[in-house]
Amino acid sequence: MTDQLRVCLLNDSFPPLIDGVANTVVNYAETLTRLGDQVVVTTPSYPGAEDDYPYPVIRYPSLPTTRLVGYRAGYPFSATLLSALEDFRPDLIHSHCPFMSTMVARTLRERVDVPMIFTYHTKFDIEIRRAVRSELLQARAAQLVVGNIAACDEVWVVSQGAGENLRSLGYEGDMVVMENGVDFPKGRASQDQIDAILRELQIPKEHPVYLFVGRLRWYKGIREILDGLAGLKRDGKSFTMVFVGQGEDQGEMEAYAEKVGVGPDCRFPGSIHDREVLRGYYSMADLFLFPSSYDTFGLVVREAAACGTASLLARDSCAAEGALDGENSFLVEETGQSVYECLSQVGHDRERLARTGQRAQETMYVSWEDSVARARERYELVIERHRAGDTSRRFELSDEFFNIMDSLCEKVAWARRQQEKVVNLNRDLKEMVRDKWHNRRYF
């Protein structure tokens, strides 16, 4: 293993905005830093961000597009940003978002001539359809995504299902499956911590507790969860459902929960940024509900498994890769009726849920240390191939655009340096004239 690598990580989301990909970048950065590597994270600016990390975070100008795409869109052609990243002298660039972050990465690559890796985390066909109504513009956006990805030296996907989704967008190149890890240790949180959460949320100890963690968007399977719980309610069964997270659809979800009669049984504590507190939530739950086919990996499923909590998952979804129905998880169709039928059978058998959760911990847990160690070995291989001139990167017509933008950014930076020289010169001249005037003697 190389003594030290210099790695530039890029993503369009980063704390204080919390999502699965932001969490991935944080854990890559922290784990690589612990391994002795030098890391810089590059991300759009965010109001109120406090970057108190053991590695530098370089932010660049952004626009308030959170309501549209879930995070702020950065301006990728900042001469100041590129100069700072060039001074860092990375050995490798690793982007985790195919939009602005990969544009920054491609421009930077033209300056420093190092390999660039891209990881595909999200089903962007769904994101594109949500953000753009025109089918023509949807197709063009998909082409942009695929073009940015194909221009990278190596492409990683977080699951087999993620790779299939990327193929459906039109990507034809090679890819490597690189699973993400979990930053929780194996084992449940303390009973005192669990009891404190139960008291805070006013949950009776005799109630089975079901949990969801993630962005509160309908496409995460939340309507199916609420419909399934409504069936339990009609059967007269008690439970408490906890939705941890925030999202644009939360208001509608709370109203729908009231409509189907489970509003009093639901809790919405918001986002939990403290990882140890979140671990307490996972440990408190009897079952984690995640009947979503949207996610490409389901990191939250592995987090639940780390705490010995089994998951209810959509059959054949990416999140269900490695799941064995009835052994380490429970698989359902992506319907409220199927969720209801499963919960009716197992949702109140707390001993069975505990056994299944223990099996999930034994078979589905992957630590970030192991995950990033594997990624780091791949980093070294990609760097060696690049230095030997052996790369699978395809030249894209848009590469010429990034050459031009890099040249333009360099010219802008040069112009700013000249402007600073002129400003400094004028200041020096003014000071010299003022000094001479004050030193004049009158006779």
Please count the residues of the chain: 443
191-365 matches 6-181+369-399 in CATH topology: yes
Give, in order, the Cα–Cα distances in Å from 431 to each of 427, 436, 438, 440, 441.
6, 9, 11, 14, 18
Backbone angles phi, psi at 119, to 5 degrees: -110, 125
Distance (Å, whole) CA 62 – CA 13: 11
Domain positions in the chain are 6-181+369-399, 191-365
pLDDT at 64: 74
pLDDT at 151: 94
Of 205, 280, 273, the C-alpha closest to 240 is 205
Tokens of residue 324, six digits = 């064995």
Backbone angles phi, psi at 134, to 5 degrees: -70, 125
Q: What fold is seen in the domain 191-365?
A: Rossmann fold (3.40.50)
Query: Residue 228 CB: number of other CB atoms within 10 A?
Result: 29
> Given this structure, which CATH class describes domain 6-181+369-399?
alpha beta
Tokens of residue 37, six digits = 């590597």
For 235-262, how does the pLDDT look when each residue is reduced to its tens digit (9 = 90+)?
999 999 999 999 989 999 999 999 999 9
H/E element holding 176? strand 176-177
Distance (Å, whole) CA 42 – CA 120: 17
- The full DSSP string for 376-416 is HHHHHHHHHHHHTT---PPPPTHHHHHHHHHHHHHHHHHHH
Q: For the CA atoms of the chain, what is the radius of gyration?
A: 25
How close are the terminal C-alpha atoms of the chain, in Å?
79
pLDDT at 44: 93
List residues bridging with 93 in a β-sheet: 8, 116
Segments of the chain with pLDDT less than 70 = 1-2, 65-71, 126-132, 391-443
Of 369, 370, 384, the C-alpha closest to 2 is 384
Crossing angle, helix 135-150 and helix 100-112, to 10 degrees? 30
Distance (Å, whole) CA 429 – CA 423: 10
Could you tell me the pTM of the whole model? Answer: 0.76
